[in-house]
Structure 1
Amino acid sequence: MQRRHYALIGLVALLALSGCTGLFGPQESDPARLNQNASYDWETPEDATLVVDRSSYTAVYDVRNNSTFEVYSRDGLGREQSVPIRALRFRYDNGTVISAANSSMTATEGGRRTEIQFPGNVTGEVAFTAPRLGKTFATPTLVDGGSYAITLPPGARVGIPLLSQVSPGADGKTVENDRQTIRWEEVTTRGVSVRYYLQRDLFIFGGVALVAIVVGTGGVLYYYRQLQEVRRRRKEAGIDLEEEDYDDDPRDRGPPPGMR
């Protein structure tokens, strides 16, 4: 019995250390993490602006007379999960920027969502940074019906169907300083998703395709030459002539003897 008790205590402690909010409720985000430094573009015209890098992304969302803002993502099964945000900032319409360090703004990570609490009902823009991985970026529609812009990492592109996908279909694409930006004028779907490729991937795929073509062509030529050599040797040995006589259609030889 004692071993079972110890195992249960160990499991509870492990869940507590891992920040499992299902048992212990929402957990307030680490203030040091929220106060980390980051650069944000506050002047974009879209309601949601996301800049994607290799291991993280920054997000700037419009807030209109709200005291809270919820951030979450979806796993492969479509289940909501909280996002460990950092470098939290809020910019008022008059240009004043506040952080968790110089205001009462906080963030709480629940089991399904991360809730940002503002100092009262505010209007402006909230910004944060969050981790990410891979060549696919997807986010739920946190500003329903708003305009969106997603800027891809340097050298990343969408456009080739087999290597990339944009959902829903974009209203426009531009490239500036080797970074492609995808824009939607109004997003009414549950989320937006972008799968991209790096331009260097095209050189790799092109090189592989070229090698495959060269190897394939060389194989065909080698097979053709070998076949021609076999035919030449058979002809020199008189084998081809015998086979031609044997393979002749009897109907082409005329009527049987005695009927000619």
Structure 2
Amino acid sequence: MNRRYLIPLALAALALTAGCAGLLGSQPISDERLDEEPPSPYVWDNDVDAHITITENARFQAVYRLDDGSMELFRRDGFGGRNAIPVSAVRYRYSNGTVITGTEIRERGGEIDRSRSRVSVTTPNGTDGGQLAFTSSSTPKRFALPAFVNGSYAVVLPPNRRVEVFPFGTVDPGGYEVISEGDQRIIRWESVEADAISVQFYLQRDLTIFGGAAAVLVAVGLGGAFYYKRRIEALRKRREELGLDVDTEDDEFRDDPPPGMG
């Protein structure tokens, strides 16, 4: 075989095998990612089934109260499929308050594996319930995730973010309340029965910037309309001066009766 075809074929084979491995098999997440420190302490002591804190660097920290000993973590794509979400700083809290790291979950008989479509977490042997926490990435000014557990939810926005002004702020599903705590907003649902929750938020200064831009556009539009109106008036006067707008009628088109018949 010609040598120039060997490298492209090798690259294609490597990509194919890597894709098959991602599609068909699960791979463990590294101990370093599992055990790294979360950006801030997890809010274990809360009165909801899912507590999500969105940070300013487009990340979030989630604490879920488990009904059983397993959970699958994923996002839905635009075609109805699932994609695994990146997780780090995984922690499990027993009902008695003891907190263990991701590697300790494995050491005690649990599992944390990642495939192309989901991250599968199984809690240690003999556990039923408890709380699972992890850190993951979000999107600037928008948070969206499937509702992994049923029940009550709380989403804490970064400081100075708001959701009150549509369309800059939107919340789904409905039936929520917005609570103010200092410079932060907390969105709460007493019960979420939807498949997913999503929150689009904005900075206070975004409205000021938008309002200023809208004012500039209105001023430009009014100035342009006034300019063209003046131009049209000037052209009309010019036509009148040249006699182009003087109405003339030929006698043959007049409506008067013929001479002698009036």
TM-score of the pair, normalised by structure 2: 0.81
Supply the distance in 1 between the matched residues of 2:21 and 2:205 (Cα, whole angstroms). Answer: 40
Structure 1 position 40, deviation (Å): 1.0
**Partner residue of 1:118?**
123
- Equivalent residue for 1:181, pick from 173, 179, 186: 186
Contact 1:91 1:97 in 2 (8 A): yes
Matching of residues 163-242 of structure 1 within 5 Å:
163-240=168-245, 242=246
Matched, 1:32 2:37: no
Structure 1 position 153, deviation (Å): 3.0
**Partner residue of 2:53?**
51
Supply the distance in 2 between the matched residues of 1:2 and 1:234 (Cα, whole angstroms). Answer: 80
- CA 194–20 in structure 1, closer or farther in 2 if over 3 Å, else same: farther
* Unpaired segments ≥5 residues, structure 2: none
Structure 1 position 173, deviation (Å): 1.3
1:147 aligned counterpart, secondary structure:
strand
- CA 187–176 in structure 1, closer or farther in 2 if over 3 Å, else same: same
Structure 1 position 106, deviation (Å): 4.1
Supply the distance in 1 between the matched residues of 2:51 and 2:119 (Cα, whole angstroms). Answer: 19
- CA 59–2 in structure 1, closer or farther in 2 if over 3 Å, else same: farther
**Partner residue of 1:63?**
66
Matching of residues 93-172 of structure 1 within 5 Å:
93-103=95-105, 104=107, 105-120=110-125, 121-144=127-150, 146-172=151-177
- CA 12–200 in structure 1, closer or farther in 2 if over 3 Å, else same: farther
1:185 aligned counterpart, secondary structure:
strand
Letter of the 1:167 partner, please give it: D
Number of matched residues?
251
Structure 1 position 127, deviation (Å): 0.4
Structure 1 position 191, deviation (Å): 1.2
Contact 2:59 2:136 in 1 (8 A): yes
- CA 16–35 in structure 1, closer or farther in 2 if over 3 Å, else same: farther
Structure 1 position 85, deviation (Å): 0.8
Deviations along 1:121-167, whole A, 9 cap, x unmatched? 233211000122343321111103x1112223333322333333322
- Equivalent residue for 1:77, pick from 71, 76, 79: 79
Contact 1:170 1:182 in 2 (8 A): no
TM-score of the pair, normalised by structure 1: 0.82
Structure 1 position 111, deviation (Å): 2.8
- CA 11–238 in structure 1, closer or farther in 2 if over 3 Å, else same: closer
Matched, 1:22 2:27: no
- Matched-pair identity in %: 37
Letter of the 1:219 partner, please give it: G
Deviations along 1:192-249, whole A, 9 cap, x unmatched? 1223333332222212211111111111211222233334444445554x23x55xxx
Structure 1 position 80, deviation (Å): 1.1
Contact 1:29 1:106 in 2 (8 A): no
Supply the distance in 2 between the matched residues of 1:174 and 1:153 (Cα, whole angstroms). Answer: 13
* Unpaired segments ≥5 residues, structure 1: none
Structure 1 position 113, deviation (Å): 1.6
2:191 aligned counterpart, secondary structure:
coil
CA RMSD of superposed structures (Å): 3.0
